[in-house]
Amino acid sequence: MSRKSQTSETHSALNSLDLGTIEFMKWLISKDTHSGDTLVVVKDYFDNKYVILFDKSMSTNVIVAYRDGMPWCITCNTDDCGHVGFAICLKQDYDRNEQVIF
Ligand SMILES: [Zn+2]
């Protein structure tokens, strides 16, 4: 018989880096199609500082800060949740777009 231990933390549906990566791909597509069918919404992005996401599965804002270029999720207090996976992809996307402007 297993009894679930009590967990006080708020759980996001994005509980792994991979799920964050998948969600980023969905977000990229929905950005073009305006479907709005994503778990994560990007609210603000400050290059190399932090990104503010809205996680619909938690109904709350999530802040991921970049420390020396490595993202850290302040909300989950970890570096391997889906928000971090999302933030890594987001940064790569911004860096890439920055380089092709000229
Ligand atoms: Zn997180």
Report if residue 83 sits inside a domain.
Answer: yes
Q: Give the percent of the chain with pLDDT over 90.
A: 64
**Terminal Cα-to-Cα distance of the chain (whole angstroms):** 63
Q: How far apart are CA 4 and CA 34, in angstroms?
A: 39
CB atoms within 5 A of ion ligand 1 belong to 73, 76, 81, 83
Helix (H, G, I), strand (E, B) or coil at 44: strand
Residues 54-97 have pLDDT tens digits of: 999 999 999 999 988 789 999 999 999 999 999 999 999 988 88
Number of domains in the chain: 1
Report if residue 85 sits inside a domain.
Answer: yes
Report if residue 3 sits inside a domain.
Answer: no
Helix (H) or strand (E) holding 95: helix 82-99
Note the pLDDT of residue 102: 46
Report if residue 56 sits inside a domain.
Answer: yes
Model pTM greater than 0.85?
Answer: no
CB 54 within 8 A of CB 41: yes
**pLDDT over threshold 70, residue 2:** no
Note the pLDDT of residue 7: 43
Report the candidate in 26, 56, 54 with the shortest Cα–Cα distance to residue 64: 54
- What confidence tier does 31 reach under pLDDT thresholds 50, 70, 90? confident
Q: How far is the CA of 2 from the centre of ligand 1 (A)?
A: 27
DSSP state of 2: -
Q: Which domain holds residue 31?
A: 17-95
Q: How far is the CA of 43 from the centre of ligand 1 (A)?
A: 15
The alpha carbon of 11 is separated from its chain's Cα centroid by a whole number of angstroms, namely 14
Report if residue 61 sits inside a domain.
Answer: yes
Residues 75-87 have pLDDT tens digits of: 999 999 999 999 9
